[in-house]
Structure 1
Amino acid sequence: MSQYPPPGQYPPPPGYPPPGGQYPGQPAYWQESPKGKGLAITALVLGILAVLSFWTLVGGYLFGAFALIFGLVALAKTRSGRAGGAGMAITGVILGVLGLIGAIVVTIIGYSFFVDSGGKDFFDCVNRAGSDQSKIEQCERDWNQRLEDKFSITLTPAPTP
């Protein structure tokens, strides 16, 4: 009888994992794949741009609307488990809504200032004047005078003798 074990596979020494890397009864190692956050990041960036540029109107409306859309899509994907970044998506939605609200407020204030200063009357006068340059210039003089009277300012300096 030989004192050496028979040729073939030897059992692993105690304390080492068996071939395959697992001990019997141990669950397999599992790692969740990272979830995409692209839509949430896009919503956040667009929301920040909307808040920073709401006073330009185009920035507020355009960036705000897209931030809202991308944020809502990202939220739907995070709730279904297909994407990550729920916090960024929510922040993007909130900032997008704030940008839209800011743009709407600026539009309302600007339009009311335009109407109060006679801008609507000026455009009506120019439309009635058609292509008659002297009538258009008269409309402009009337509007300038109205602004000067209303706000106590001088738009065109008086000629100096």
Structure 2
Amino acid sequence: MSSPPPYPGQPGDPQDPRHGYPEQPTQQFGQQDRFGQGQGPYDQQYGSYPGRPSAHDPGGYPGYGAGPSPAPPRNGAGVAALVLGILAVLTGLFLLGGLLGLIAIALGIVGITRASKGIATNRGVAIGGLVLGVIGVLMTVAVVVFAVFSLNLFNDIDQGQFMSCVQDAGSDQTALQQCQRDLEDRLQGELDQLGN
């Protein structure tokens, strides 16, 4: 039994124009040449310089193919800034909120700087922490200013009469209640004057 004739284009086909010529060895993509460099299909056609990586071989260039993996991003400062910024806003009515806000601002700046240098990948988180830290500080400053203003206003209106009345009353509850009523009358009189 004879074997069927080969298909056109296969080795051994009598109609193949290459019939009778020895097969040329072909170099596969990614194989090493005699200089130890990779050869891509375009480099076989046009050639490449000895001692240089192939233009079509990504393994020859840093950052492509095999090589050291990049360091993980350092996102800790940005995340800490956001957490402390949220706490600063929540506690902004107290002095603790201002302190947390200042720390959030500092960490937010560090996180933004790291993101600008490409060390971190969470620039938006760091900006959010910075903004919330600023809001927390501003809330604390507003509370302190309001408290100082109110205390000064109270001292201007009362002129120390309430404190001297309380000291004179001692532990007498009736006298203390009278001191409170006198203070309320003075405050009401001042509000009436401001309204006119």
What TM-score bracket applies, with the shorter chain setting the length? 0.5 to 0.7
Q: 1:54-133 alignment to 2 at 5 Å?
A: 54-55=92-93, 57-118=94-155, 121-122=159-160
Report the Cα offset of residue 140 of structure 1: 10
Check conservation: 1:35, 1:82, Cα contact below 8 A.
Answer: yes
CA distance in 2, matches of 1:36, 1:89: 12
CA distance in 2, matches of 1:87, 1:34: 18
Match of 2:182 in 1: 145
- Label 1:81 to 1:102 Cα distance change in 2 as closer, same or farther (>3 A): same
RMSD, aligned CA: 3.8
TM-score (norm. length: structure 1): 0.61
Q: How many residues align?
A: 131
Match of 1:45 in 2: 83
Secondary structure at the residue paired with 1:82?
coil
Match of 1:26 in 2: 58
Q: Which runs of 5+ in 2 are unaligned?
A: 1-27, 39-56, 60-64, 190-196
Q: Which runs of 5+ in 1 are unaligned?
A: 1-13, 127-132, 153-161
Identity %: 24
- For the pair shown, the structure with the greater C-alpha radius of gyration is 2
What amino acid sits opposite 1:26 in the alignment? P
Report the Cα offset of residue 142 of structure 1: 5.0
Report the Cα offset of residue 149 of structure 1: 3.8
Check conservation: 1:118, 1:143, Cα contact below 8 A.
Answer: no
What amino acid sits opposite 2:151 in the alignment? F
Please list the CA deviations of residues 20-39 of structure 1 after superposition, one character each: whole Å capped at 9, or x if unmatched. xxx93232335422211111
Check conservation: 1:117, 1:147, Cα contact below 8 A.
Answer: no
Secondary structure at the residue paired with 1:118?
helix
